[in-house]
Structure 1
Amino acid sequence: MEQTLKIMDLPENERPRERLLRYGTQSLSNAELLAIILGSGTKRENVLSLSNRIIKETGGLNGLLKSTVEDFMSLSGIGEAKAAQLMALLELSKRFKSYRDGNDYKISKPKDAALLIMNEMKNFKQEHLKVIMLNTKNVVMFIKDVSVGSLNSSIVHPREVFCDAIRKNSAFIIVCHNHPSGDPQPSNEDINVTNRLKECGKLLGIELLDHLIIGNGRYISLKEKGIL
């Protein structure tokens, strides 16, 4: 049986960790960066080979970002521990893109809200509904995942949308959902849901500022389109 080449068997200047420390992160390939994060391979495969295969079998970096824990665990050599490492990496990546620093995030226009959630939501394979909650100064207080699945008035209950906004004393909310097809054009059901939430917001004293529909790198603001 052929013995697997271990990372420590490589010359020092070819090992990912040593290369990063000596030459910087920019000198490393995607697989080498992933290998450093995973730390170890399997009995049959060293970590560099494993990392190359993960990236290849998930469809490159874009595919990696869209993967679920089930997707990772379906790969040979990936158990719960490594799947958890990969999911933690993806979540940090999403958070870094959304929150570039620790300062308050203020929303002054629809594009500000879109930039906050675009990178995460454009990769979803199913429709997700999120609610961005704002204070009286339009600063983001909290973002809540409300539902997963086709957006329709039967599953988008105002109670779920406004529950945390009431508890957190939010002044405004922005509703966001994605179209996995990549086309952000609003459907009749999207408009019906928006109108229903708008009326409920009036009764509760929490204004619905906008409803954003996220496509593949594009978005549509129902406020900008004059629908809201």
Structure 2
Amino acid sequence: MEKSLKIMDLPTNERPRERLLRYGVEALSNSELLAIILRSGSKKESILNLSSRIIKENGGLNGLLNCTIDDFMSLHGVGRAKATQLIALSELSKRFKSYKDGDEYRIVKPDDAANLVMEDMRHLKQEHLKVIMLNTKNVVIFIKDVSVGILNSSIVHPREVFCDAIRKNSASIVICHNHPSGDPTPSNEDINVTHRLEECGKLLGIDLLDHIVIGNGAYISLKQKGIL
């Protein structure tokens, strides 16, 4: 039975691990770093070629962050084991950039909220609405995905937005949604939804502190714009 091509099958001077130890991690390409994690290629393809192709076919490293396990398994040469490695790597990368490592995360300005969700939301192909729930000290206590699809008042129901906020005894919330176009300029419907949720929050005693619209590496705060 033909074996998979592993890193150890490569000439010594081409092995990513040996290059890392000799020259430092900064000297390695993205493909070489991924090869160290995946360890082996397929029967017909070296691990370096496979790693390079995985990155290329998903539009670069940022594309990998938004792939599902099914997306990975659909790639030629990627089975269940490699797909789970890739999805775990993607999740770890997201957690490095968020509060999910267990540390307290406090929101005192729009930057704090935007930075918390930016990597999760900037490359999404559909609009997603997240609710960030805060305690009385503005520390994040929970984040929930509320809806997927075009943001409008017929889809975004206040009961869905505030349901978990009530259960978690939240003092306030920040809502965040993305624009797949990459342009964070709020639409008229974005503004209408914001005002509707603001009024509902007043009735419930849970303040809507801000509505952050996420683009590709940029955001707009409706609070800063004077809309909220």
TM-score, L = length of structure 2: 0.90
Please state whether the residue corresponding to 1:195 is helix, strand or coil.
helix
- Partners of 1:13 and 1:27 lie apart in 2 by 13
1:80 is aligned to 80
What do the CA deviations read for 1:193-215 (whole angstroms, capped 9, x no partner)? 11121111112111110100011
8 Å contact kept, 1:126–1:149: yes
- Partners of 1:79 and 1:153 lie apart in 2 by 42
Q: Does 1:215 align with 2:224?
A: no
Give the total of aligned pairs: 227
Q: Does 1:130 align with 2:126?
A: no
8 Å contact kept, 2:5–2:47: no
Q: Does 1:115 align with 2:94?
A: no
- Partners of 2:103 and 2:25 lie apart in 1 by 26
CA 1:5–1:111 in structure 2 vs 1: closer, same or farther (change >3 Å)? Answer: closer
What do the CA deviations read for 1:207-227 (whole angstroms, capped 9, x no partner)? 110100011111111111111
8 Å contact kept, 2:5–2:41: no
Measure how far apart 1:100 and its partner are: 9.1
1:90 is aligned to 90
- Partners of 2:154 and 2:183 lie apart in 1 by 23
8 Å contact kept, 2:65–2:91: no
- Partners of 1:158 and 1:200 lie apart in 2 by 7
1:47 is aligned to 47
Root-mean-square deviation (CA, aligned residues, Å) is 2.1
1:190 is aligned to 190
8 Å contact kept, 2:6–2:39: no
8 Å contact kept, 1:66–1:125: no
Structure 1 residues without counterparts, runs of 5 or longer: none
1:11 is aligned to 11
Measure how far apart 1:137 and its partner are: 0.7
- Look up the equivalent residue of 2:85 and give its one-letter code: Q
- Partners of 1:132 and 1:3 lie apart in 2 by 49
- Look up the equivalent residue of 2:68 and give its one-letter code: T
1:163 is aligned to 163
- Look up the equivalent residue of 2:45 and give its one-letter code: E
- Partners of 2:112 and 2:17 lie apart in 1 by 37
- Partners of 2:86 and 2:215 lie apart in 1 by 25
Measure how far apart 1:131 and its partner are: 0.7
- Partners of 1:19 and 1:108 lie apart in 2 by 44
Measure how far apart 1:132 and its partner are: 0.7
Measure how far apart 1:30 and its partner are: 0.5
Please state whether the residue corresponding to 1:50 is helix, strand or coil.
helix
- Partners of 1:66 and 1:144 lie apart in 2 by 18
- Partners of 1:194 and 1:8 lie apart in 2 by 57
- Partners of 2:72 and 2:49 lie apart in 1 by 16
Please state whether the residue corresponding to 2:65 is helix, strand or coil.
helix
Please state whether the residue corresponding to 2:97 is helix, strand or coil.
helix
8 Å contact kept, 2:4–2:42: no
Please state whether the residue corresponding to 2:63 is helix, strand or coil.
helix
- Partners of 1:203 and 1:209 lie apart in 2 by 14
8 Å contact kept, 1:35–1:48: yes
Q: Does 1:64 align with 2:58?
A: no
- Partners of 2:219 and 2:112 lie apart in 1 by 11
What do the CA deviations read for 1:48-90 (whole angstroms, capped 9, x no partner)? 2210111122222233334333432332112333222212211
Measure how far apart 1:22 and its partner are: 3.9
2:175 is aligned to 175
